[in-house]
Amino acid sequence: MNVSRHSDKPDLDSRAHIESFVDRFYQRLLADPQLGPIFTEVAAVDLAVHLPRIKDYWCKLLLGEQGYRRHTMEIHRRLHRRRPLQPEDFERWLATFTATVDDYYQGQRAERAKHLARSIAANMQQSLC
């Protein structure tokens, strides 16, 4: 577990930190007046199922774990057919992601997570919008 000498914020360098990040991020997403209804009403996300998958997804991306095996693009295409996602949705998602990382984490993997999130948002927006 790497902790910067300049901050008491941990890096996203363990499953525990990634799980904590995902919980904090989704707490913000669900409370957001723009994004929350997409998750709760349009997608009707079952958080008991969804959050462990998202935690596995980020553990795969940041730690190389192999637990996640789903195809995210098709999941989002189905959502987009129900409620077209707009560029503003992706911008808001990315701003929320970045703010959550910056508020609680610092380090090489935290920076990698933000870089990956920018790529994910851009790719999805380009594919769907």
Q: What is the CATH number of the domain that holds 38?
A: 1.10.490.10
- Mean pLDDT lowest among 4-18, 28-42, 54-68, 105-119: 4-18
Residue 3 has pLDDT above 90, yes or no: no
**pLDDT value for 6:** 58
| Binding-site entries for heme | 76
Question: Could you tell me the two tokens for 46?
Answer: 């079952």
| Phi/psi at 126 (5° precision) | -65, -40
| Binding-site entries | 76
Q: Which domain holds residue 121?
A: 15-128
Q: Are 110 and 62 in contact (CB under 8 A)?
A: no
Angle of helix 47-63 relative to helix 108-128, nearest 10 degrees?
120
Residue 80 has pLDDT above 90, yes or no: no
Any domain includes 101: yes
Task: State mean pLDDT over 41-66.
Answer: 93
Any domain includes 96: yes
Q: How far apart are CA 129 and CA 65, in angstroms?
A: 31
Any domain includes 88: yes
What is the number of structural domains in the chain? 1
Any domain includes 70: yes
